[in-house]
Amino acid sequence: MKIPTSVVTKHITKYWFRRRTVKAKGVRKGYIWAAAAATLKLVLYFYEDGSRRQEVLFDFLKTYKGTVQSDAYAPYRKLETDQYHNITRIACLQHVKRKFLEQDKDPDARKIVEMINQLYQKEHEHRTSYQGWTIKDNLAHRKQYAPPILRKIKKKLLSLQTKPDLLPKSQMAEAINYTLSQWKAIEDIFTKGEYYLCLLYTSDAADDLIG
């Protein structure tokens, strides 16, 4: 399938659902994929017998040139390799934040959440296409507010990563590694004025579909 650039410039994710099978009696988990262009208010769903295999995604994107926003599911990370040089993957900030929200009793995790929230707070000071605020204005705003906050977040993460009491397989270590391993994809969110900070647009659209 050939995908126009305007159809999937923003978000790609997947949602599971229960499906009845013909060959095997009963109900099995299946997946439907969603690609959304938030600025155009379009969502395109694609499906291949409920499969979440990476080949479904790669076949869908084989002719695509542009930007994909996603979580850090392993197949999405392959979009960052030279094999997909026509695609730029940017991260979903909400998925990053969620990793630390799950540890709400940890003061370090709460501090990271607080710093991520600063990005959202600064972003919400203005809204594109409202009261004359343009994409160009938004990019200039991002270039001003984002770098210092991102530097603080990264510095905090690197500091936590070297703590002697951090267990390699702990929830905190997983959250730190999840974030740092896609740091460029996080920074790239702020390189364009039209990019969204997270995948919430796609999630809202899927909720409307699934009910």
DSSP calls for 8-72: SSSEEEEEEEEEE-SSSSSEEEEEEEEEEEGGGTEEEEE-STT---HHHHHHHTTT--EEEEE--
What is the spatial distance between Cα 196 and Cα 37, in angstroms, rounded to a whole number?
A: 10
Residue type, 92: C
Burial of 136 (0-12, 13-18, 19+ CB in 10 A): exposed
Predicted confidence (pLDDT) at residue 1 exceeds the cutoff of 50: no
Q: Please tell me the pTM assigned to this model.
A: 0.83
Model confidence pLDDT, tens digit, residues 44-89: 888 888 888 899 989 988 888 889 999 998 889 999 999 999 999 9
Mean pLDDT value of segment 133-156? 96
Cα-atom radius of gyration of the chain, to the nearest Å?
19
Cα–Cα nearest to 202, from 4, 18, 37, 6: 37
Predicted confidence (pLDDT) at residue 113 exceeds the cutoff of 90: yes
pLDDT for 13? 63
What is the spatial distance between Cα 38 and Cα 9, in angstroms, rounded to a whole number?
A: 8
pLDDT for 120? 96
Helix (H) or strand (E) holding 155: helix 135-161
Q: Is the CB of residue 44 less than 8 Å from the CB of residue 174? A: no
